[in-house]
Amino acid sequence: MSASTPFGVWLRAPVPASPFQARMQALWKAWRRLRGNPPALAGAILLVLLLAVAIFAPLIATHDILAQDLTARLQKPSATHWLGTDDLGRDIFSRVVYGSRITLYIAFLAALIAAPLGLIIGTTAGYLGGWTDTILMRLVDIFLSFPSLILALAFVAALGPGIENAIIAISLAAWPPIARLARAETLTVRNSDYIAAVRLQGASRMRIIVHHVMPMCIPSVIVRITLNMAAIILTAAGLGFLGLGAQPPSPEWGAMLSTGRQFAMNAWWIAAIPGCAILLTSLAFNLFGDGLRDILDPRHG
């Protein structure tokens, strides 16, 4: 878009004339920063492609993901089966395409649970301080003392196998780093002048936390949860690999990887294809998360 066009001039106005124009200018500046960061742009493109694959899976898949054909089992990639077939003759390409839906469903839902939970606990601990801060942060320390996968395994073992229980378990393992980050952000803003002014106006502690502290922490939380998406995806794949996540015949990438490990020597594609899908998705979230940090955090770039 040329800077000489009316819309370009409107976007580059030194003083926005309306809140809508200010928001559009912020979005335009964010896009320019993202466009100037090739790795982050590549990650964003990969994520958009992954979302498109998940949304249009019925149109992209070439075969029924549950249809078994034992006469076509363990076939190499070909014109008929683009990424080969598994031990039951099911088309791997179609299963990987539908598996993107499951992976994104688990990742986004776990993030939607973990991020608000960590934000609420972190901001409450940071603003109230005292014994509330001590109790909540010791709880965070207990959770952080265990590796996330081990903690998720413990929760899903208690809850039982299945996608819903896996999401709950991953969420319970993912919120402590968010809470610690939110607490650190809260400690930097709770003594600010605008917080003191709101307090002098008679606002309650809850109102200050919800309406004035949390909004200041949201950008950092968004960046952190985006960077944590790779760990969430790997944890979900690990649970599926161990049979504690999505159950057969669901085309979850971790479960597909588990099935393919016994054929690694003579049918490498069964395990390699879902493994590459996990790798690319995790890499995309990491690259995009780094770029998002540069966009949302004024201290970077």
What is the tens place of the pLDDT at every residue in 77-116?
Answer: 999 899 999 989 999 999 999 999 999 999 999 999 999 9
Share of the chain above pLDDT 70, in %: 96
Query: Residue 298's pLDDT is what?
Result: 53
What is the tens place of the pLDDT at every residue in 276-299?
Answer: 999 999 999 999 988 888 777 655
Is residue 2's pLDDT more than 50?
no
Amino acid identity for residue 91 in this structure: D
Q: Count of alpha carbons within 13 Å of 11, Cβ hemisphere only?
A: 17
Bridge partners, residue 85, by sequence: 91
Domains of the chain listed by start with CATH number = 46-56+82-296 (1.10.3720.10)
Q: What is the pTM of this model?
A: 0.86
Query: Residue 301's pLDDT is what?
Result: 45
210's tokens: 């919800």
Section 241-266 average pLDDT = 88
What is the tens place of the pLDDT at every residue in 131-187?
Answer: 999 999 999 999 999 888 889 999 998 888 889 999 999 999 999 999 999 999 999
How deeply is 83 buried, as exposed, middle or buried, from its count of CB atoms within 10 A (0-12, 13-18, 19+)?
buried
Per the prediction, the chain carries an average pLDDT of 88
